[in-house]
Amino acid sequence: MITAVGFGLLSLVLGFGEGLEHNRVGGRAEPVVQASRYGSLWPLPQKVQISEVSLKLSTSSFRIVDAKDSSAGPSCSVLQNAYRRYYEYLFGGAKRQRQGQSKSRRAGPSELTELQVWITASDSECDGFPTVASNESYELSVGQPFAVLKAPNVWGALHGLETFSQLVYKDEYGAKSINSTAISDFPRFAHRGILLDSSRHFLPIKVILANLETMAMNKFNVFHWHIVDDPSFPYLSRTFPQLSKQGAYHPYTHVYTPADVKMVIEFARLRGIRVVPEFDTPGHTQSWGKGQTDLLTPCYSGSKPSGTFGPVNPILNTTYDFMKQFFSEISTVFPDAYVHLGGDEVDFTCWKSNPDIQKFMDQHGFGQDYSKLESFYIQKLLDIVTTTKKGYMIWQEVFDNGVKLKPDTLIHVWKGNQQQYQNEMANVTSSGYQTLLSTPWYLNRISYGQDWQGYYKADPQDFNGTEEQKKLVIGGEACLWGEYVDATNLTPRLWPRASAVAERLWSAKDVTDINDAFNRLSMHRCRMVERGIPAEPLFSSYCPHEYKGI
């Protein structure tokens, strides 16, 4: 029998929403008191067995330690940082000096004394960065007198530590408890991302770090940093410092210094998260032109320049000289194997008005097909990025326009209604390219009610295609564009709505029970609140530990 208690919330009267069970009393909808047999686990692991045998955890006796045969020892910063982090999650303000020291008293007969973390592969990857090919699997066994967390490398161990922390709850007397449990787990998709936009509104570093922390709580593993765009250029380039000096909202207070970027990358690495930067061209580049002369196309009104500028000027050699130097820098600053090159929403109006562009079009036989000019630019840019030894991600327009792409190009689908994006996924994969989906997960679009359910039901492999095509779908990303989002509202708008995407990308394909998801997500949301994350509520309810950040 599989039973579970979780997070001490079994007595909590949970709310309800569309598609959720509820009773009607005198014509009024009343919430149903329910608890998932999986407690508050989120995202749901692949295989879970939870018994009714309950064990106690005490600050005076419980430790998280390296297993005797683990290939990762005390020098592994990824794990040592995680041990401290999760010990604090488990015991709050309890003094951490007991962690790693000898036990001050003999453990009781029903007490869990240790979580032993065993890295089984010879290369623990402690000193490396997570990649799209990283093994994130783990096995967790909780029994008396200790629990064992086994993982091939540290990335799986990080996920296992999060799962272990989610199994701990307070019993009816307020004591920390955990049930005997066996879990075997791995992600369904390798790429599980969150896109944040730091151009339309500058996002302070502490906000980015807080959301990386929350991403780890939800087992996301990619931070897609849409770092610059039309409104501002906050990335402080060592090679071209004038880009942020002229293009940022403020050259000192609203920029990301090299030290800031390095901090974000390392903070993410310690939580098993890749940082993929996006520098979108040739459109979305108005802020670039403020600091880089002649980079953008002069627009014309009749036969005279209008004083305004359009996309990157694709006909000048200086454009490509600049891009070569700029992406050479980017390749050294960001360690991930991929960079996102954008390529979306290019407005041809300015190009059409420019007589030099028209002449170039005639010389190259492009006629009036300006998508060919865009392809000309993109092809040159892709060749430049290839020389930096980086792989690239691009928005779907680049594929749609027939640009010649490397076989390992990752195509990011974001446009259209359900039928349109499903057709796009089929087209991309039938051409042999890997793809990831964002269309149904634009979290900047908000509505009254429980819109998380729509996110939860969207599946990136739900399109007409062969099994081989489905295997080319490596995951998806939830996107939070920044027109109406800054430090004041980003986190509650993102969570727990993004958590719905997290479970879709991690858990088995058949994990689709909305009622069960609601009950677990309600408790998971309260856990995030207790950990200091202002995640918004799903419906009428309360948390034992209300948010105290105001």
Report the SS3 class of residue 500. Answer: helix
DSSP 196: E
The Cα–Cα gap between 284 and 335 comes to 24
- Three-state secondary structure of 527-543: HHHHCCCCCCCCCCCCC
CA distances from 307 to 290, 299, 345, 350 (A): 13, 7, 22, 11
Cα-flanking dihedrals φ and ψ of residue 501, to 5°?
A: -65, -40
The Cα–Cα gap between 5 and 18 comes to 25
Question: How many CA atoms lie within 13 Å of 536's alpha carbon, on the beta-carbon side?
Answer: 18
Q: List the catalytic residue out of 21, 30, 172, 345.
A: 345
Q: Which of 517-530 are b and which e, b meaning 16 or more Cβ less than 10 Å from the residue's Cβ?
A: bbbbbbbbbbbbbb
The length of the chain in residues reads 550
Nearest by Cα to 475 from 130, 189, 132: 189
Q: Establish whether 345 is a catalytic residue.
A: yes
Give one DSSP letter per residue of 154-171, joined into a string: HHHHHHHHHHHHHH-EE-
Report the SS3 class of residue 226. Answer: strand
Question: How many CA atoms lie within 13 Å of 149's alpha carbon, on the beta-carbon side?
Answer: 25
Nearest by Cα to 276 from 387, 380, 374, 412: 412
The Cα–Cα gap between 398 and 404 comes to 9
Nearest by Cα to 281 from 384, 174, 182: 384
Spatial CB neighbours of 381, under 8 Å, sequence gap ≥ 6: 281, 320, 323, 341
Nearest by Cα to 64 from 159, 164, 167: 164
Q: Which tokens hold the place of 233? A: 């250029």
DSSP 402: T
Could you tell me where the DSSP H helices lie in 354-494?
A: 355-363, 370-387, 396-400, 418-430, 452-457, 467-471, 490-494
Cα-flanking dihedrals φ and ψ of residue 490, to 5°?
A: -60, -50
Number of neighbouring beta carbons within 10 Å of residue 273:
27
Give me the active site residues, please: 345
